[in-house]
Amino acid sequence: MKSTKKAAGADWWRGAVIYQVYPRSFQDTDANGLGDIKGITRRLPHIAALGVDAIWLAPFFTSPMADMGYDVSDYCDVDPIFGTLADFDEMMAAAHELGLKVIIDQVISHTSDRHAWFVESRTSRDNAKADWYVWADPKPDGTAPNNWLSIFGGPGWEWDGVRRQYYQHNFLTSQPDLNFHNPEVQDALLSTVKFWLDRGVDGFRLDTVNYYFCDKELRDNPPALVATGGLDAPESNPYGMQNHLYDKTQPENIDFLKRFRALLDQYEDRTTVGEVGDGARSLQTVAAYTSGGDKLHMCYTFDLLGPDFTPSHFRRCVGDFQDNVVDGWVCWAFSNHDVQRHVSRFAQNEEEQPRVAKLAISLLSTLRGSICLYQGEELGLPEAELAFEDLRDPYGIRFWPAFKGRDGCRTPMPWEASRAHAGFTTADKSWLPVPYQHAALAVDKQDADVDSVLHHYRETLAFRAEHAALRDGDMTFLDTGEDVLAFTRSKGGETLLFIFNLSREPVKVVLPKELTLGKTIAMPGFTTADAGSTVSLSALDVYCGALA
């Protein structure tokens, strides 16, 4: 199956649809209960059939897997549980043959404590890599250098008995933070990026991109005015009690991002998307990181990864971005590997989950920006409910039962409803269980049902591709006086009007007098009748029309 869709040119990423693959949960081909790169290759036709432009692979690098691969011990090799570099090359060639770009996850704010760099750094205070990580002396009473906290619980510092110093870690104690103030560290990291660029990858998703630098003076963070963890930490986590002024989002990061971009610009048609977890400062950080055309191509924040499914929320998030980020670009997503699946966040009950899944992708596909889909959302998968003994996520294990962690969105992809583990693996046991509710939503079952969420995704993404206004056209919100989300998307001679009723009650919307409707355009999966000056919407419904 060869795609006829073109995803080429220097700006292919602008308005692109990106599909996130979590490799250990996508497809197992060697019967060890873990997904692998050959499994990704096997299932690429499914991804291509959706009509997306690119895939983003979560980490597959050599790692002890304390944090499921986000603790890298070798940036330039594939972990044996996923396969080999040859497997990766084969997968990438197959993806390119199908018209799919390949984006890989770069986790460079920290390494594993088993990385050769850290193994050397911790041997003494005067070795060649002694200053490659953030080391600091204890206070006179032996306590940590300051009050910084780890997102994964406890202090953000760990004592090392050999150096008799503390090292910083924003996440697990086995994930020491690199010292980006050292130019040698930047050079070494950029050389690993070049390794993958030379191999032909099309872009990088930069994990925790605002965490690279910390304050040189190691000043204490002040308390937060409102103690809330936000979406990058649960409320049960004291991390949210601080205003993180000094342990991340430092001004020096701008120059490093320029260095990163300068390297990418030596290659054709490459891109970057940065993950920004910065609380109330996120939009300002995105603006700084994506402006000027010499840093990141785009960023995403946690704004749409929460439980709010209301017109006012979406209007505020998108409107604030448009007001604050003048020449930057955003990548919107409703789900990823770190948050509860969005049909469980947005739907009020199990019965309405398919309708909410369809409405959500219809909304996401009409927003201005690039969009990212997370594997399984095209099936309308809900969050998996797991027993404590099944958990593998150290974050969830640490904060259980107040926070159940991220395993519920990381369970294996269901491919075939009637097979064991829904066709994910032939092993006796998969690394996380496949819930029976997920098996009932398997790809083969939905592929045979033209009314399924899977078919709706294909049709909706095709609709997006047919209208240039949806890829990178202008977006203007409308005031209707009703509790709906209404906006236009415009490019060239085309202007489309969208009205989303996110409520569970029907609504009638009187169009502003200055608008002249040309014709109603049927959004895939929704059957709104032609409208005059008034649009009638049922519960969880969408109207689309062309303006004359």
Q: 215 and 308 share a domain? A: yes
Note the maximum CA span of the chain.
77
CA angle in degrees (0–180, nearest 5) for 365-359-104: 45
What is the DSSP annotation of 392-405?
Answer: --HHHHHHTTT---
Separation in Å, CA 45 to CA 1, 118, 413: 7, 40, 15
Q: Reduced to 3 states, what is the DSSP secondary structure of residue 206?
A: strand
Q: How confident is the model over 265-282, as a mean pLDDT? A: 93
Q: Which amino acid is at 204?
A: F
How far apart, in whole angstroms, are the C-alpha atoms of residue 45 and residue 36? 16
pLDDT band for position 233 (50/70/90)? low
pLDDT digits (tens, 9 = 90+) for 187-204: 999 999 999 999 999 999
Could you tell me the CATH number of the domain that includes residue 524?
2.60.40.1180
Torsion, Cα 418 423 425 430, to 10 degrees, reads -70
- Does the residue 347 lie in any domain? yes
Q: Which amino acid is at 8?
A: A
Q: Of 411, 430, 464, which residue is a domain's last?
A: 464
- What pLDDT score does 525 carry? 87
- Using only the alpha carbons of the chain, give its radius of gyration: 23
Q: Which amino acid is at 526?
A: F
Q: How confident is the model over 154-175, as a mean pLDDT? A: 98
Active site residues: 207, 275
Q: 448 and 489 share a domain? A: no
Q: 22 and 72 share a domain? A: yes
Could you tell me the CATH number of the domain that includes residue 52?
3.20.20.80
- Does the residue 134 lie in any domain? no
Q: Is 449 exposed, middle or buried (0-12, 13-18, 19+ CB in 10 A)?
A: exposed
How far apart, in whole angstroms, are the C-alpha atoms of residue 152 and residue 407? 15
The backbone torsions φ and ψ at residue 160, rounded to the nearest 5 degrees and listed phi first, read -120, 120
Q: Reduced to 3 states, what is the DSSP secondary structure of residue 419?
A: coil
> Residue 486 sits in which domain range?
474-547
Q: Of 464, 485, 517, which residue is a domain's last?
A: 464
Q: Reduced to 3 states, what is the DSSP secondary structure of residue 38?
A: helix
Cβ count near 389 (within 10 Å):
5
How far apart, in whole angstroms, are the C-alpha atoms of residue 116 and residue 73? 7
> Over 80: is that where the pLDDT of 532 sits?
no
> Over 90: is that where the pLDDT of 164 sits?
yes
pLDDT digits (tens, 9 = 90+) for 362-372: 999 999 999 99
Q: How confident is the model over 18-25, as a mean pLDDT? A: 98
Q: Would strands 203-206 and 101-106 be described as parallel, antiparallel, or unpaired?
A: parallel
- Does the residue 40 lie in any domain? yes
- Does the residue 156 lie in any domain? no
- Does the residue 489 lie in any domain? yes
> Over 70: is that where the pLDDT of 320 sits?
yes
- Does the residue 253 lie in any domain? yes
3-state secondary structure 42-96: HHHHHHHHHCCCEEEECCCEECCCCCCCCCCCEEEEECCCCCCHHHHHHHHHHHH
Q: 235 and 285 share a domain? A: yes
Contact between 532 and 517 under an 8 Å Cβ cutoff? The reply is yes
Q: 391 and 524 share a domain? A: no
How far apart, in whole angstroms, are the C-alpha atoms of residue 37 and residue 113? 25
For helices 282-290 and 311-324, give the axis angle rounded to 10 degrees: 40
How far apart, in whole angstroms, are the C-alpha atoms of residue 531 and residue 518? 10
Q: Is the dihedral of CA 406, 18, 199, 269 positive or negative?
A: negative
> Over 50: is that where the pLDDT of 123 sits?
yes
Upper half-sphere CA count for residue 451 (Cβ side, 13 Å): 4
How far apart, in whole angstroms, are the C-alpha atoms of residue 475 and residue 131? 48
**Neighbouring residues of 419: CB distance < 8 A, sequence distance ≥ 6:** none
* Cα distance from N-terminal residue to C-terminal residue, the chain: 39
Contact between 131 and 230 under an 8 Å Cβ cutoff? The reply is no
Q: 361 and 449 share a domain? A: yes
How far apart, in whole angstroms, are the C-alpha atoms of residue 247 and residue 219? 8
Q: 289 and 422 share a domain? A: yes
167-171: Cβ within 8 A, 24+ apart: 167/122, 167/133, 167/134, 167/135, 167/136, 168/133, 168/134, 168/135, 168/136, 168/214, 168/247, 169/110, 170/109, 170/110, 170/208, 170/211, 170/247, 170/248, 171/67, 171/70, 171/110
Q: 393 and 257 share a domain? A: yes
- Does the residue 175 lie in any domain? no
> Over 50: is that where the pLDDT of 492 sits?
yes
Q: 457 and 491 share a domain? A: no
Token pair for 171: 């996440």
Q: 451 and 518 share a domain? A: no
pLDDT band for position 455 (50/70/90)? very high
Q: Reduced to 3 states, what is the DSSP secondary structure of residue 357?
A: helix
How far apart, in whole angstroms, are the C-alpha atoms of residue 328 and residue 157? 35
Q: 366 and 430 share a domain? A: yes
Q: How confident is the model over 442-461, as a mean pLDDT? A: 98
Q: Would strands 54-57 and 541-547 be described as parallel, antiparallel, or unpaired?
A: unpaired
- Does the residue 297 lie in any domain? yes
Q: How confident is the model over 466-470, as a mean pLDDT? A: 96
Q: How confident is the model over 137-148, as a mean pLDDT? A: 98
Q: Of 408, 434, 464, which residue is a domain's last?
A: 464
- What pLDDT score does 5 carry? 45
Q: Reduced to 3 states, what is the DSSP secondary structure of residue 102?
A: strand
Q: 311 and 371 share a domain? A: yes
pLDDT band for position 517 (50/70/90)? confident
- What pLDDT score does 279 carry? 83
DSSP 126: S
- Mean predicted lDDT score pLDDT of the chain: 94
pLDDT digits (tens, 9 = 90+) for 299-312: 998 889 999 999 99
> Over 90: is that where the pLDDT of 228 sits?
no
Cβ count near 235 (within 10 Å):
12
Overall number of domains in the chain? 2
